Structure formats: structure tokens, C-alpha cells
Structure 1
Amino acid sequence: MSPKNIRVMITGVTGMVGEGVLHNCLHHPDVTHVLVITRKPSGVLHPKLKEIIHNDFYDLSPIRHDLAGYNACFFCLGVSSVGMKEADYFKLTYTLTMHVASTLNALNPDMTFCYISGAGTDSSEKGRSMWARVKGKTENDLMKLPFRKVYAFRPGFIKPMKGLTRTHALYKYINWMFPIGRALYPAGFCTLEELAQAMINISKQDYTKKVIEGKDIIKLAAVG
């Protein structure tokens, strides 16, 4: 991949993380093309941006011909497990993600696939926490796909970006904690800008670890 010719596909742009990642990609000089696949319009207009509205992520066949020619995917699509049964969460987290990733891998085998997971994910798939087991299985099976590279990002507390509109309500009340948390436990606290920049940078150059923890996010964001 040319370090100055990143053609990226992004999912989940109507969520806080996806919105921030999209914003940073559109303003990064090394990102030349951005394809967004979304169930509802993002409301963003930019010369780099192509947006496809598609409701069924379990069936990408109607838009398959539009998905080739990209060398990075930033998979930011996800749901909260709160109040969900494991079977439903598994379908929306594991089954959906693996279907999208398998489709993209067949079309773009040289792609770098970056998956937004979460701090506390259970790689053993055997712990008590349902969401952590499902996320762990998703990470593990994504890494079995023959992409050029697969990275699982595990951010903890994410400081939102000013000016964006899709910040989780919780962060509006606890954002004051960020300076304290960053000072006491920097590995668990990153900004949304750092997360987005780390994903862009890891697409330009390889990283030795496949699971990207908070301290790796901060380190990668500072590269270049």
C-alpha cells in the first residue's frame, strides 16, 4: 500500500466513534478516497466521500460491485449489549461483522482491516462476561481471515471530539474525568482523534501487535 494513497471503507459512521473516524479520514492528506456504508444518511458531504445507503448488512450482494478497490477498512459498527440476550448480541456483533469482513476479504485481499472492539474483551472466549466473550470470538475469527493485516482496537474511555454531534450521552456527563484518568492511568484513556489517527497510521505501516490496547493507540497516534 502506498503510504499516501489510502482508500478506506468505514462502517458505523452514525455512531460516536465512526463519526470521529470519518471526520479525521476526510481531513487527512494520505486518505484519498472514503467509502461509507450506512443504513441511514450521515449528513456529511465531501469531495473524498462516497456514501452507500444499505439496510441489510447480512446481504451485501446488491452493492458488492461497489466494494472492490479499497486497501483499508475501519469497522466502527457496533451495539451495546445492555439488555440484550446473548443470541441477539452474537448475531449483531459476530455474525454481521464476519459476513462483512468475509465479503471484503474476497474482494480486497490486500486490505488492512481495523476492528473497533473494546477494553476488557475476552480472547479466551470463556469468561463470565457475555459481551467480552462475543467480542473475543469476533476478534479471533477476524484474524483467521487472509487479509493483509487485521487489528483489533480495544479503547477504554474515549474523549469525544468537539463539534461533532453523535457523542454518547454518558460522555457528556463524565467527560470531566478524562484529564484525571489520563494522568493516573493513561493506557485506559484516549481521545477520539488519537483513535482515528492510530487507525490511519497502522494502515500506512505495520505494527508488531494485533491487539491494539490503549497505550498502543496513543503510541500509534503520535507516529508521523
Structure 2
Amino acid sequence: MKVLLFGATGMVGQGVLRECLLDPGVMQVLSVGRRMTGQAHPKLEELVVPDMLDYGEVEDRLAGYDACFFCLGVSSVGMSEADYRRVTVDLTLAAARVLVRLNPQMCFIYVSGAGTDSTERGPSMWARVKGETENALMRLPFRAAYMFRPGFIQPMNGVRSRTALYRVIYVLATPVFGLVRWLWPNRVTTSEQVGRAMLAAARHGAPTPLVEVPDINALR
């Protein structure tokens, strides 16, 4: 399997990249983003795209892939709806529309979030915008498209958030992760499990297009 990975420098993307590189069934990973990952591996190639809304000059690098793991995203904290929508909806669909034309047999997996609003009409801004993104992706004619909706993600194997506040939260929460997972198993997963679940969904499918935390934890 040949994999495209967007957002490999973020917390989720770091975990997904690790699992892809460890998986013997993955022949190649092309990381696409605004910056290099800083990693070196025989399977890993990197494509730096300064403008993530325009792939015209690099389309030839994006053809011939079996799966796309789209882990690129930002927190909505402090953002207007227009700005958050541009980063979340416009940026995601700019990539997806190119990829579905070049790779119609691709499995496209998008990292959304628990609580996303599929109706696009609820009171939560981020949930509406994520719901709009999910719905637009599921209308594209990919072989399969799955919307992963993780809740709280425990970073594993040296994975770190790029957001300082989140790093502090994860450090403080580390001693009680085991208890949290025991109390709320359907709300918590790990960066390792998210990566493995994406690979499993790309290979064998998932039970539903909207992949919630229990589905993520069950995929093998």
C-alpha cells in the first residue's frame, strides 16, 4: 500500500506516520505539508507545499496512491468562523478534489472530532464546520471515505502536540490516563491506535463512514 499523509508534524499525524513506517504492508509514505517532518526513513518521501490551497504544480507527485490519511487541522479557539472554515473546509477540499480526480480508487480518511455536527446547524461553530467538511468529503467519488472522530487521544511513543497548552494538559493527565480509559473507554484512544485503525480501515473498510472512538479502538 502507498500512503499520502497530510499533517505529519501534528500530534495525530506523528502517530499515524509512525504506524505507517512500522507496517510491513506499507511500501511508501509521502508526507505533504508546509514543513518537513525532520524524520528520515527509507519509506518516507516528503513534499513541501507552501500554499495548501493550490496543488497545480505538484499534481504529478500525488498520483498512484492507495490511501490518504488527512490529519491536518487546527483548534478553533480564538478563530472566527470564516477563518476556521477556510482552514478546515477549504483547505481539506482543495486537496481532496485533486486526489479523487487523480486516485479515484483511493480510500480517504479524514481526522474530524467527537461531537461533530452532521446537520451543520447546531450551536457549536467548530462542530458545524467539521460537519460541513465531513459531508462534502463523503459526497466525493472515492472508493471509500471515512471520517475518524477521536475524542481524547493519549500520545504514545514520544508523540507530542505542537500546541503548548495541549502539551501541558497531556503532561498533567499522564498519571491518570489509565483511570480515564477505564472510566470512559468510549471516549479515549491513543495515537498508536488511531494510526493502526486508519491502516485497518484503508485495507479492510470500517463498519460505518463515521468512525467514532469505539470503532477506532476496535479496528485491527
TM norm. shorter chain > 0.5 = yes
For residues 125-181 of structure 1, what are the alpha-carbon distances to aligned partners after superposition, in whole Å with 9 as ceiling and x for unaligned? 111000000000100110000000000000011110132344641212223332112
Q: Given the two structures, how large is their TM-score scaled by the length of structure 2?
A: 0.95
Contact 1:19–1:166 (8 Å) recurs in 2: no
Q: Which residue of 2 aligns with 1:24?
A: 19
Which aligned pairs between 1:119-158 and structure 2 lie closer than 5 A? 119-158=114-153
Inter-partner Cα distance in structure 1 for 2:214 and 2:196? 14
Number of corresponding residues: 216
Residue 6 of structure 2 corresponds to residue 7 of structure 1: no
- SS of the residue 2:59 aligns to: helix
Inter-partner Cα distance in structure 1 for 2:10 and 2:138? 24
* Residue identity matched to 1:191: T
Instruction: Using the TM superposition, give the Cα deviation of residue 40 of structure 1 relative to its aligned residue in structure 2, in angstroms.
Output: 1.0
Q: Which residue of 2 aligns with 1:177?
A: 176
- SS of the residue 2:114 aligns to: coil
Inter-partner Cα distance in structure 2 for 1:165 and 1:193? 12
Q: Which residue of 1 aligns with 2:215?
A: 216
Percent identity between matched residues is 49
Inter-partner Cα distance in structure 1 for 2:161 and 2:36? 13
* Residue identity matched to 2:217: I
Inter-partner Cα distance in structure 1 for 2:216 and 2:207? 13
Check 1:9–1:77 CA distance in 2 against 1; reply closer, same or farther (3 A cut).
same
Contact 1:198–1:217 (8 Å) recurs in 2: yes
Instruction: Using the TM superposition, give the Cα deviation of residue 207 of structure 1 relative to its aligned residue in structure 2, in angstroms.
Output: 2.0
Instruction: Using the TM superposition, give the Cα deviation of residue 122 of structure 1 relative to its aligned residue in structure 2, in angstroms.
Output: 0.5
Residue 59 of structure 2 corresponds to residue 60 of structure 1: no
Q: Given the two structures, how large is their TM-score scaled by the length of structure 1?
A: 0.94
Instruction: Using the TM superposition, give the Cα deviation of residue 184 of structure 1 relative to its aligned residue in structure 2, in angstroms.
Output: 1.3
- SS of the residue 2:110 aligns to: strand
- SS of the residue 1:187 aligns to: coil
For residues 68-123 of structure 1, what are the alpha-carbon distances to aligned partners after superposition, in whole Å with 9 as ceiling and x for unaligned? 00010000000110000000000000011011000000000000000000011011
Inter-partner Cα distance in structure 1 for 2:107 and 2:157? 28
- SS of the residue 2:139 aligns to: coil
> Which residues of structure 1 form unaligned runs of 5+?
1-5
Contact 1:11–1:76 (8 Å) recurs in 2: yes
Residue 103 of structure 2 corresponds to residue 108 of structure 1: yes
Inter-partner Cα distance in structure 2 for 1:138 and 1:163? 30
Residue 65 of structure 2 corresponds to residue 70 of structure 1: yes
RMSD, matched Cα: 1.1
Residue 39 of structure 2 corresponds to residue 49 of structure 1: no
Contact 1:121–1:132 (8 Å) recurs in 2: yes
Q: Which residue of 2 aligns with 1:194?
A: 193
Higher mean C-alpha deviation, range 175-184 or range 108-117: 175-184
- SS of the residue 1:128 aligns to: coil
Inter-partner Cα distance in structure 2 for 1:30 and 1:46? 15
* Residue identity matched to 2:184: Y
Q: Which residue of 1 aligns with 2:205?
A: 206
* Residue identity matched to 1:106: R
